[in-house]
Amino acid sequence: MASSSRRKDSAKGVVFPSFFKAIVDEALEDGKLEIEGYVAMKYKDFLGHSIVLTVPNGAVWRMGLKRNNGSVWLEKGWLEFANFYSLEQGFFIFFTHEGVDSCFRVRIFNKSSLEIDYPFKSSQAKFSRGSYKAFSRAKRFKSDHPCLAVKIQPSYLLRGLKMNAHFVNEHICAVYASRKVNLQIPNGKTWSAKCSVCLCVNKKYAKLCGGWTKFAAENGLQVGDACVLELIKERPKMKFLVHIFRANI
């Protein structure tokens, strides 16, 4: 059983699509969770070949999706997720879309409708420390050029890098505009990308896209890594020198 609704983030004034899914024995026995056709159709623009779920303590789970007869199943990775959180028939999961591609925040409730305590993955504590140290190193980076430090989130690897809108508006382009940029790493290799700023519910939103995902993939960026975008050239084409700080080092 699935049901959908919309949740408003009052702090940002943005309405996020959401739905919940009740857990039945078949989902645990068959090793896959079905998202029924009418919900799958409604959220088809947010469901690609995989889905990224983030629980309240920050743990991230990636699962493969399988499609058949209009329905979608969370399959590869689902059983590991279910076992880790000791899911049983009568539990339900509340999904809230994060606003980018197949990324959802999830909350798990037990048979008494109480939210569960979320255990940490064995590697999560080590990962969290590594991520914290990576971002701390990025924030300590010093330069005479304008710089922006960012921590890599799951959604940033799928489609585009969310940037500080004030920084972009001041140094790159105005609202409703876009600009081509070059991304260069210290060894000199360069990738082309595009930076744009838009306005969503009276809030500026800036993103680096159009080549960013290729840059991220070819440089092996992972969730928890940090980057410093150092603006070293403004004309004729803007260039960022990108410094990468790894969470697993």
Domain limits, the chain: 2-109, 124-245
Same fold flag, 2-109 and 124-245: yes
Entry pTM: 0.54
CA distances from 61 to 41, 128, 158, 191 (A): 23, 15, 14, 29
Reply yes or no: is the peptide bond before residue 236 cis, omega within 30 of 0.
yes
From first to last of its 249 residues, what are the pLDDT tens digits of the chain? 555 444 444 334 445 578 889 998 888 878 899 887 666 676 666 666 788 899 998 888 889 888 877 778 899 889 888 888 888 889 999 998 876 667 889 999 999 999 999 887 765 555 667 777 888 899 999 999 999 999 887 778 877 888 887 788 788 766 556 788 999 999 999 999 988 776 554 556 678 888 998 999 999 998 889 999 999 988 878 899 999 999 886
Give CA–CA dist 173/180, Å, rounded: 10
CA distances from 86 to 115, 147, 166 (A): 13, 44, 43
Residue 166 has phi, psi (to 5 degrees) of -65, -45
The domain defined by 2-109 folds into: At1g16640 B3 domain (2.40.330)
Cα dihedral 159, 163, 166, 171 in deg (nearest 10): -90
**Arch. (CATH architecture) of 124-245:** Beta Barrel (2.40)
